[in-house]
Amino acid sequence: MTTQTTWKGTFYDGRSLIPQAVSIFVEQTGLTFQLASGIHQHWPYAQIQQTQGRYSGEEVRLEHGTGLCETLVIPNANILLAIHEIGREEASHFHHPGTRRKRVYWTVAAALAALPIVYAIFTWGVPSLAGPITAAIPISWETKLGKFVQQEFTEEDEVCQDPKLNKTIESIMDRLLKPMNERSYQFQVTVVDSPMVNAMAAPGGYLIVFRGLLQDTDSPEELAGVLAHEIQHVMLRHGMRLIVQHVSMAFIIAALSGDASGMLSYGFQAAQTLQALSYSREAENQADEQGLALLQQAGINPEGMMSFFDKLGEDEEDSSPFRYFSTHPPTTERRDHLEDLESANSMHYREFSVGQDWEMTRDLCGTESGENE
Ligand SMILES: [Zn+2]
């Protein structure tokens, strides 16, 4: 009897939970298969870890890589016999079905584990898994969600349409984004005509700046400091993570599977979460530190970021719920930390000119604009 060399299985890329049917060839050195995209995969036996398929009735689960690794699930456990037969010593770390033990309840677990992250949610709960779940959400889904969140915030208030203002903000964004070569997000800034002194980052790169904050800035460097901080919240997926921690299971399953239907209601839920909750101290520190690094890479003087912190510190008694940086840590502490970081790696900065008077530019939005001319 010849050994069966081709087996049917399902491939998961580790980033989404979208299954791909594959035909797996058992070869002497490893497993080979081709994805729908045409990409040819070869997994040497030494790089494969068998994480499931030791008990009767269980599917065989093979993982490749680290972290949220690539996975093959093979329903027919006899593939293990073929792997042993063909791979020999190289495949000796795979379980041999001849030594199977019977444990029926594992079949139930196996069915759940077909969706590995959902299984993990049931086992450990959502909060401790917010990181890996966020990492598994496809960027395309996050971007669609972000667009809906942005719409939730900009519907009632008027969006500032002044072309001069928008062009100026675009030029600041261009300068900030230039050093970031590999970017998964297309950033977009919307200025909302509202007196709130606030700015926020919706998932997927949709930044929202409220007029109140814009008018509080005294230089393009100050606005660049705020934008750099918000860009890093997006890059670090802080908003997405906060949303994952606080929304329903249905949302998470839809997000992981890339299911776009019903996005509108999720957009509302997500916007509410972003508005009502604040980031952790750790997340704010990260966005500060990496925001500072971004300013430095772009050659923009971080003094603007720090002077804006000073201004916020002065308003610290202001109890407005919309105050920017309303979260811990206190702004003075954050400012001191940034100053230390900056002086440790100080450099020469060119003055940032937007080609026109800043005070005039920042006032181009909203009811107060144009009145003093
Ligand atoms: Zn922040």
- Lowest mean pLDDT across 96-105, 137-146, 341-350: 96-105
**369 falls within a domain:** no
**279 falls within a domain:** yes
Residue 146 to residues 77, 188, 321: CA-CA distances in angstroms? 42, 11, 23
- Domain end, chosen from 80, 114, 148, is at 114
103 alpha carbon – ligand 1 mean position (Å): 49
pLDDT digits (tens, 9 = 90+) for 144-172: 899 988 888 887 668 998 999 999 999 99
Tokens encoding 58: 């269980």
Q: 220 and 71, same structural domain?
A: no
Judge contact between 214 and 223, C-beta under 8 A. Answer: yes
Residues with CB under 5 A from ligand 1 (ion): 284, 287
CATH at 31: 2.30.29.30
**71 falls within a domain:** yes
Residue 342 to residues 89, 224, 295, 300, 345: CA-CA distances in angstroms? 55, 16, 10, 12, 5
Q: 183 and 51, same structural domain?
A: no
Spatial CB neighbours of 281, under 8 Å, sequence gap ≥ 6: 327, 328, 329
Q: Given this model, what pLDDT does residue 69 score? A: 67
**16 falls within a domain:** yes
**171 falls within a domain:** yes
pLDDT digits (tens, 9 = 90+) for 176-186: 999 887 778 99
Q: 244 and 110, same structural domain?
A: no
Distance, in Å, from the CA atom of 185 to the CA atom of 12, rounded to the nearest integer, reads: 23
Q: 274 and 156, same structural domain?
A: yes
Q: 90 and 183, same structural domain?
A: no
pLDDT digits (tens, 9 = 90+) for 114-129: 456 665 665 666 666 7
pLDDT mean over 35-43 = 90
**30 falls within a domain:** yes
Q: 211 and 110, same structural domain?
A: no
Q: Any idea what DSSP says for residue 2? A: P
Q: 252 and 162, same structural domain?
A: yes
Range of the domain at 16: 6-114
230 alpha carbon – ligand 1 mean position (Å): 6
Q: 181 and 317, same structural domain?
A: yes
pTM here? 0.64
Q: How confident is the model at residue 112 (pLDDT cuts 50, 70, 90)?
A: very low
Judge contact between 114 and 59, C-beta under 8 A. Answer: yes
Coil, helix or strand at residue 216: helix
Length of the chain: 373
Q: 221 and 340, same structural domain?
A: yes
Q: 146 and 19, same structural domain?
A: no
pLDDT mean over 93-120 = 56
Regarding predicted confidence, which is higher, 175 or 73? 175
Q: Based on the structure, what is the number of domains in the chain?
A: 2
238 alpha carbon – ligand 1 mean position (Å): 9
**368 falls within a domain:** no
pLDDT digits (tens, 9 = 90+) for 269-298: 788 778 777 788 888 889 999 999 999 999
254 alpha carbon – ligand 1 mean position (Å): 27
Q: 144 and 87, same structural domain?
A: no
287 alpha carbon – ligand 1 mean position (Å): 6
14 alpha carbon – ligand 1 mean position (Å): 29
**370 falls within a domain:** no
Q: 139 and 109, same structural domain?
A: no
pLDDT digits (tens, 9 = 90+) for 290-327: 999 999 999 999 999 999 888 876 665 554 444 455 54
